[in-house]
Amino acid sequence: MSGVAVVGAGAWGTALANVAAEASAAPVALIGRDAAAMAAIEAARENARYLPGAPLNPHVTPTAALDAVAGAEVVLLVTPTQTLRAVAAELAPRLQAGAAVVVCAKGVERGANALPPEVLADALPGVALALLSGPSFADDVVRGLPTAVTLAASDEALAARLAGRLATRSFRPYTSTDMTGVALGGAAKNVLAIAAGAAEGRGLGASAVAALIARGFAELARLGAALGARPETLSGLSGLGDLVLTATSPKSRNFALGRALGRGEPAPAKLAEGAATASALVALADAHGVELPISRAVAAVVAGRVSVAEAIEELLARPLKSEA
């Protein structure tokens, strides 16, 4: 049992399977839930639906058999946040003793208002857990463009071991023991990127986008303080780094969703992770007495309760206050 298994064969899972294969030259199972789709990926040696134009590394084996996790000492869990609990329940009886599970999703689970590491700790008691997050478009990573991410685990030695296992010349995981801070940054930036996209889509200008990023970061910092996240985590790769990337790039699905909403265009049929997360992020903040005006506005817009124009009016009408 020396291999890596990646559960979730979307854009990010496919890119990470290639990274893991390149990093260790060991077998990597890329596990998707749709047998026909996985057979098509194997036939083409490419995930044409999610990551067209990127050949699979020869060490990657696409499969629909979740049992393939049994041969892995490292399992990357790369399905959307709202599916993590159910997927983890299916994984639990199949994991090898001693296997580490690295969650790679960014979001907040609705209902429990829980960050991915909390969901996993609940669903996989006793399993060694880690979290991978940071500024990294699948499309950049799979093309071998330089990328730095954060690999967090409460056990520092585990974080270092996993970072070594996944590092390539171009993909550089930095380690952290602040799981909460890393998970919170990944969740919040998805929501804030929708706000930045909406501002751009509505033609509010680059100054407004910069203001949203800075005040969005202030929201992240307030909630982070309440949850015990470390400030240096929030200003690092998985916090500010990912916020800057996602809130300024049309390549981001969250930014693109916000831009469509801001332009009054129909939202994409498949909503970005931030849309699923916004209300749960706000509920998490409410439970800690922390106010997140921008995230709350995003939650109201994606739920269809207010238009982008109304949300902007509400934000502009807020009383003036200290920047702290």
Ligand X SMILES: O=C(CO)COP(=O)(O)O
Tell me how far apart the terminal alpha carbons of the chain are, to the nearest angstrom: 51
**Span 167-196, contacts to ligand X by CB under 6 A:** 190, 193
The answer to whether 135 contacts ligand X (rule: CB under 6 A) is yes
Q: Is 123 in the site for ligand NDP (CB under 6 A)?
A: no
253 binds ligand X (CB under 6 A): yes
Q: 62 forms bridges with which residues in the sheet?
A: 30
- Name residue 273's amino acid: E
Beta strand spans in the chain (E): 3-7, 28-31, 60-63, 72-77, 100-103, 128-133, 147-152, 171-176
Count of H helices and E strands in the chain?
14, 8
- Under rule CB under 6 A, residue 8 binds ligand NDP: yes
273 part of the interface to ligand X, by CB under 6 A:
yes
Give the shortest CB-266-to-ligand NDP separation in angstroms. Answer: 18
β-bridge mates for residue 147, sequence order: 171
Which tokens sit at 85?
């609990």
Our CB check for ligand X shows the closer of 22 and 273 to be 273
Please choose which of ligand X, ligand NDP, none residue 80 contacts, taking the beta carbon within 5 to 8 angstroms, the exact cut-off set by kind. ligand NDP
Q: Which of 105, 124, 284, 312 binds ligand NDP (CB under 6 A)?
A: 105
| Residue 209, both tokens | 């986008």
The answer to whether residues 187 and 219 touch, using CB atoms and an 8 Å cutoff, is no
Question: Does 46 interact with ligand NDP (rule: CB under 6 A)?
Answer: no
Burial-class residue 263 by CB neighbours within 10 Å (0-12, 13-18, 19+). middle
Locate the DSSP E strands across 124-202.
128-133, 147-152, 171-176
Q: Which does 47 bind (CB under 5 to 8 A by kind): ligand X, ligand NDP, none?
A: none
**Residue 15 near residue 78, CB atoms below 8 Å:** no
Q: Is 18 in the site for ligand NDP (CB under 6 A)?
A: no
Least distance to ligand NDP from the beta carbon of 43, Å? Answer: 16
Task: Please enumerate, by residue number, every residue annotated as part of a binding site.
Answer: 8-13, 33, 50, 106, 134, 136, 138, 189, 242, 252-254, 270, 273
Residues that bind ligand NDP (CB under 6 A): 8-13, 32-34, 50, 78-81, 83, 86-87, 104-107, 136-138, 273
Contact positions vs ligand X (CB under 6 A): 106, 135-137, 190, 193, 242, 245-246, 252-254, 272-273
